Amino acid sequence: MTATTPSLSYRLPQVRNLVTALPGPESARLAERRRSAVAGGVGSSVPVYAADADGGIIVDVDGNSLVDLGSGIAVTSVGASDPRVAEAVAAQAQHFTHTCFMVTPYEGYVAVAERLNALTPGDHDKRTVLFNSGAEAVENAIKVARLATGRDAVVAFDHAYHGRTNLTMALTAKTMPYKKDFGPFAPEVYRMPMSYPYRDAAAGLDADGKAAAARAISQIEKQIGGDAVAAIIIEPIQGEGGFIVPAPGFLPALAAWAKENGVVFIADEVQTGFARTGAWFACEDEGVVPDIITMAKGIAGGMPLSAITGRADLLDAVHAGGLGGTYGGNPVACAAALAALDTMEDLQLPARARAIGERAVARLRAIADEVGVIGDVRGRGAMIAIELVHPGTSEPDAELTKAVAAKALAAGVVILTCGTYGNVVRLLPPLVIGDELLDDALTVLETAIREAAA
């Protein structure tokens, strides 16, 4: 831990420890039950079943302690059993688990909205609406943008990921596994080229952010026309598409164009939000103030909650009853969010994320030349990735990527992969992971890369 960050305490030993082969017998029994109970379309990254989790450790049903470098896909930044969150959940549940905010409202929803209005970029008048999933937040951000502008067209980007509902599938770029055979998809969605510095350079394109933005804007104007676009939606750092950090200048140029053309600029911070990238929100890195920001994942310590926060004039343009849903802003999830936000603030998790990222990037950059298969090391804060390629080329190596993740898992480290080409190893550790455990996991990852690449 750096000297300035508060000390962390844990309920479980923060030590990687395997006591059986993976999966162990209990996980194997659960897998058997799952085969005759759960649809095969739901996949799982690892073959073990969780029994407990705390800090950077997941304990499985066979007593194995694994290091969690996935945080349940960027969700459990405060850990999966933050004591403050657990206490808030229990306390709320003892009073009421649900009344439906559209029926009998409650303070927790209002308090979360006040916190998000204050925490998100921009000092303008804002309003917030709460939902359950990231995709639901994205769907509603687009609804608001279309109503407020009276326009239909929505611009999304190559390599984007926005969810698994019909509209968010239309916004998502990669077909397999997210979209294949699930169409037809919502109309009036247009895909534009992304700033992908590593691959832009490899393709001989000008990787400069302003040039990349100019390419996208030129296509928007030719294919749609600025006056027909309701919204641009973009992840400030693309997540499932491969932890793609656009070149500096790209986001500000798009936001400026959107403002000039009356287009709603939506930042999808479902994966980048809540300290993950070393700031409360990734947009802050270049001073971009979105008109609407979508949030979920890290918001509530693992409880299902999502939100849109945006300009009051946009969100208040919607007629009464136009936004909502049965469970949106569930009171238990709201209690968890308020507790999680307190933990993030008390533990200074944006700074902790930066420290985690610096540690990880230094280790990965140090071996890149030696192993020859790391084409790029990138990310910000504790959202770090390596793109794996065939030696001496920028050709994606998806098989090597799978092998690295499998070797890491066999040694007791849960690592997620992603990327349009399936060749990105991503690090999303809980922001409460300790340095010793992080270093141990990075050593395992280095060994896995060396062995898989040999």
Ligand X SMILES: Cc1ncc(COP(=O)(O)O)c(CNCCCC(=O)O)c1O
Site string for ligand X, 261-300 (x = CB under 6 A): -------x-xx------------------------x----
Give least dist CB 147 to ligand X, A: 21
For residue 307, list its beta bridge partners.
130, 295
Q: Binder to ligand X among 56, 121, 163, 350 (CB under 6 A)?
A: 163
Question: Is residue 235 close enough to count as binding ligand X by CB under 6 A?
Answer: yes
Measuring CA to CA, which residue among 349, 413, 405 is closest to residue 381? Answer: 349
The burial of 146, by beta-carbon neighbours within 10 Å (0-12 exposed, 13-18 middle, 19 or more buried), is given as: middle
Least separation in angstroms between residue 54's CB and ligand X is 23
State the nearest-atom distance from the C-beta of 390 to ligand X, in Å.
26
Residue 362 beta carbon to ligand X: minimum distance, rounded to whole angstroms: 26
> In the window 110-139, what residues touch ligand X (CB under 6 A)?
133-135, 138
Distances (CA, A) of 117 to 144, 279, 312, 316: 17, 16, 10, 14
Nearer Cβ to ligand X, position 176 or 320? 176
Two tokens, residue 87:
């206490």
If one asks whether residue 240 binds ligand X (CB under 6 A), the answer comes out as: yes
CB-nearest residue to ligand X: 134
**Burial call 275-313: b when 16+ CB within 10 Å, e when fewer:** bbbbbbbbbbbbebbbbbbbbbbbbbbbbbbbbbbbbee
Cβ at position 68, least distance to ligand X in Å: 16
Among 160-168, 196-204, 369-377, 378-386, the segment contacting ligand X (CB under 6 A): 160-168
Task: Please tell me the distance from the alpha carbon of residue 290 to that of residue 293, in angstroms, as a whole number.
Answer: 6
Q: Which of 24, 72, 197, 239 binds ligand X (CB under 6 A)?
A: 239
Backbone angles phi, psi at 232, to 5 degrees: -105, 130
**For ligand X, the closer CB: 92 or 238:** 238
Nearer to ligand X, 24 or 329 (CB): 329
x/- string (CB under 6 A) for ligand X, residues 397-436? ----------------------------------------
* Residue pair 146/187 in contact by the 8 Å Cβ criterion: no
Q: From the CB of 135, what's the least distance to ligand X, in Å?
A: 3
Between 355 and 384, CB nearer to ligand X: 384
Cα–Cα distance, 27 to 363 (Å, whole number): 33
- Residue closer to ligand X by CB (options 23, 134) is 134
> Stretches 162-170, 215-223, 347-355, 366-374: which one binds ligand X (CB under 6 A)?
162-170
Closest to ligand X by CB, 64 vs 157, is 157
Binding ligand X (rule: CB under 6 A), the pick from 101, 109, 131, 161 is 161
- Residues near ligand X (CB under 6 A), total: 16
Output the smallest distance, CB 269 to ligand X, in A: 7
Which residues of this protein are in contact with ligand X, per CB under 6 A?
73, 133-135, 138, 161-164, 235, 239-240, 268, 270-271, 296
